[in-house]
Structure 1
Amino acid sequence: MSRQITLVLKGYPRLSETFIAQEIRALELRGLNITLASLRHPTDKSTHPIHDEIQAPVLYLPEYLHQEPLRLLKGWWKARRMPGYRRCLQHWWQDLKRDCSRNRLRRLGQALVLAAELPPGTEQLYAHFLHTPASVTRYCALLTGLPWSASAHAKDIWTSDAWELREKLAELAWLATCTGANHSYLQGLAADPSRVHLVYHGLDLRRFSAPPSVPQLRDAQQAQDPVRLISVGRAVAKKGYDDLLNALAALPADCAWQLTHIGGGPLLKSLKQQAQALGIDARIQWLGALPQQQVLESYRASDLFVLASKIVDDGDRDGLPNVLMEAQSQGLCCLSTTISGIPELIEHGSTGWLVGPGEPAALTDALQQLLHDPALRTRLGQAGQQRVQQVFDVERGIDQLAELFDLPATTERPAVANPQPCHCDH
């Protein structure tokens, strides 16, 4: 009989969280019986093919407590008889005194509903992201007495208070995190560092089949055939798109390039205005969020991937962006920054190119060198592709998670229902 868990996440499905969908499906194929508990309803208008493959049912918790008062009341009525009810309220009260917010109240309400509506036979709770989803999971675990574990990624670590991280790390059974920088920081906060495991997300290389190797030719000298830049990421401050636009605007006027951006996000409007003010808006396509197949085709039609990640004022930063692995899997040269786990993937000058974060002038210099040197882009792209294939295959991380979930060992590699076809156009 397969193990049964409930996986708590902030929203499902989400186009920007393909690594979570990839993990869910891989664990299902290993025999884990999963129910998804989502704190929010989906906002994206489309999904990825992998979402159609996922079999886990989804339990949507009350996104705002006032919208479902009867459901909340029923949850409380059932949860008040649970063995850990008083202990949960004591922990929540201590948390509220240090973080007096409506969000803290919402987390408790969602936990009450989750505890009352857990599928029968649930053996373990598991949260993706160590902030809000882990808080709901923790309160639910206190109520029910179930063990819980979590995966931590980026913003959830670096914008959370240390006291809250310490207390969660002391209670959970184990935690997986996706970069060496995260791993070191969280181990330093944990009373038992052995509970914190470094597990790279990796990439499902069956979905990102490698295109034929084609030498780069565009050299930024022909206005009618510019070098095709691409960046994929949400328009949020930590992605550094303001720095990228400033860097592009500083390039010589006769340098032939065009940029395609894929992703939604709250800063899209201001970035478009910035591009217009800099006089480079005619060279940029803003495509918004797209399904994985269209993103893949865009990688294959591009010459250089750029992501100018940086640390922002509240401490938020990228972890190890999956889009870099995706781009490298297609033999695409990647230019990024030395933030968090990115240097664990990209070795500067060997498998890609790195500059310091928040340094538009250094980014301009790197762009100018890479735009004018197609042979360098080809070499770095091919080396990056080999590194992803050798070190960042998703099955390595799934093997680790399967062991943490006490799943039976397997030597077979499950088949993919919808592998992505290869259409290469460099």
Structure 2
Amino acid sequence: MNVLMLTSSYPKFRGDTTAPFVESIATNIAARGVHVHVVLPEHRELERAAVEDGVHFHPFRYAPKKEWTLWGYAEALRGDVKLKRGVYALAPIALTSSFDKMMQLTAREKFDVIHAHWVLPNAPAAALVAQRRKLPLVVSMHGSDVFMAEKNRAFGSAARWCFDRAAWITACSDDLMQRALALGADENKTELIPYGADAKVFHVHPEEAERVRAALNLKRDEVMILAVGRMVYKKGFEFLVRAMPQILQHTPSARLVLVGYGDTRAELETQAHSLGLNGHVIFAGRVPRAEIPAYFAASDIVTVPSVRDEAGNVDGLPNVVLEGMAAGKPIVASNIAGFPDVIDDGVSGLLVPEKDSAALADAIVKLMRDPSLRERLGVRGRAQVRENLNWETVAKKFVAVYERVQKQNVERK
């Protein structure tokens, strides 16, 4: 089976942390014998061979200079709230270029399915190609795409147009699926497929954990609270920083380690300074993806304090929660988005109300006080990843979708 994927984000090089879930979907589907071809935008940092891990890459050019490559790769939205200046001007060129690239590829080689990641901006071009080539279209929603469709009437109409033409639609969380149904997706062809993680990758030798703690200047008795993600408003890091004074009242040795980069880092640093948290909040910056498992191993508690930001944007299902579970760490997460789909509150993690720093602090302190609870939550979370929240299971589900829509397409012909 040949599948042509269109995406606007993908790790730009090995170890990059941009949209790693798309890479995991593609490579694990390829590992099941599917020929996967990925069409993606050029980028000034893109360093991919023609074929890697069984995935064929086809970058499309849309900007005269590489410095102008603002399309995709989590760069089009400022703080994940609004489109950056210049993106609207690039949109018609990028969409046309992606369409042309897919038309060229489908003219050269026989494909069975077209798979668009993010209904916006990618599904319109993918739908037109699917229509021209009489191929079934699968659309996968990841979060910011549905947010854009909800906030703009024209974008909402475009999303509905794509939903109507899709043979199958997938969402990574029930929250995202329900919002897509409200936008006009057909519930009879919409499926929840949560992301996964690899428990083997996150089983790290203790020496690696010690190395990370040493690099962060953490002593053995200091409690490491870890948060990983892009520094944008919907990640809710400001509420975690605000929770630290309350946490420190109970455990003065607590240290918050923030791994990631983004538009709000300067604001978070200013906030930490104003709260007198110098030395208690560590900004680790951009960490290579291969190093992330060691950071989880070094931590005592993993926090994912996502929120609905002021514009209404919210995560679909951040991989960090599944990776924390794969590492066997106790998780404290907001009770929104896809977290209730994968965390059984009190069994495989703790869920707290979003934007509630006091509740966040209480949950973290509860885990600090109860080592046996930390152990139980971590063990159960890791078991869930091994049982069903893994990339092999995700790939099986997507291959089943491809086979279903391919069969329907053949029967229609």
TM-score by length of 2: 0.79
* 1:141 match: 130
Once residues 205 and 379 of structure 2 are traced to their aligned partners in structure 1, the CA distance between those partners, rounded to angstroms, is 11
State the partner residue of 1:242: 238
Aligned match of 2:403:
406
Say which SS state the counterpart of residue 114 (structure 1) adopts.
helix
What is the DSSP-based 3-state SS (H/G/I as helix, E as strand, rest coil) of the residue aligned with 1:317?
coil
Letter in 2 for 1:126: H
Q: Aligned partners of 1:112 and 1:165: how far apart in 2? A: 17
SS in 1 for 2:354: coil
Aligned Cα root-mean-square deviation (Å): 2.9
Q: Deviations over 1:341-370 (max 9, x none)?
A: 101111222211111011112112222222
Q: Which residue of 2 aligns with 1:55?
A: 54
Structure 1 residue 389, shift from structure 2 partner: 2.1
Q: Which moved more, 1:355-364 or 1:116-125?
A: 116-125
Which letter maps to 2:260? G
Q: Does the 8 A contact of 2:117 with 2:139 survive in 1?
A: yes
Match of 2:194 in 1: 200
Within the candidate set 85, 89, 109, 1:121 is matched to: 109
CA displacement 1:278-331 (0-9 Å, x = unmatched)? 111312222223233311011111100011100012221111211111111121
Unpaired segments ≥5 residues, structure 2: 67-86, 151-155, 207-217, 405-413
Letter in 2 for 1:22: S
Question: For the Cα contact (< 8 Å) 1:226–1:256, is it kept in 2?
Answer: yes
Q: CA deviation at 1:384?
A: 1.8
Retained in 2: the 8 A contact 1:240–1:308? Answer: yes
- Aligned counterpart, 1:9: 7
Larger radius of gyration: 1
Report the counterpart of residue 332 of structure 2 in structure 1: 335
Q: Name the structure 2 match of 1:166.
A: 160
Deviation at 1:238, TM superposition (A): 0.5
Shift of 1:207: 2.8
What is the match of residue 155 of structure 1?
144
Q: Distance in 1 between matches of 2:148 and 2:253?
A: 39
TM superposition shift of 1:401: 0.8
Provide structure 1 residue ranges, at least 5 long, that are not aligned to the other structure: 69-99, 213-221, 408-426
Contact map agreement 1:108 1:139 (CA 8 A) in 2: no
SS at 1:131's partner residue? helix
Change (3 A) 1:112 1:154: closer
Question: What residue is the counterpart of 2:37 in the other structure?
Answer: 35
* Residues 227-251 of structure 1: per-residue CA shift (max 9 Å, x gap): 1111111101100011110111333
Contact 1:210 1:329 in 2 (8 A): no
Whether the aligned pair in 2 keeps the contact of 1:205 and 1:394 (CA below 8 Å) is no
Aligned residues: 361
TM-score (normalised: structure 1):
0.77
Shift >6 Å, 4+ stretches: none
User: Partners in 2 of 1:302 and 1:311 — Cα distance?
Assistant: 26
How far apart, CA to CA, are the structure 2 residues paired with 1:248 and 1:238?
Answer: 19
Could you say which residue in structure 2 is the equivalent of 1:291? 288
* Structural mapping, 1:19-418, within 5 Å: 19-41=21-43, 43=45, 53-64=52-63, 66-67=64-65, 101-119=88-106, 120-123=108-111, 124-161=113-150, 162-190=156-184, 192-209=186-203, 225-253=221-249, 255-406=252-403
Report the AA paired with residue 109 of structure 2: G
Separation in 1 of the partners of 2:328 and 2:376? 9
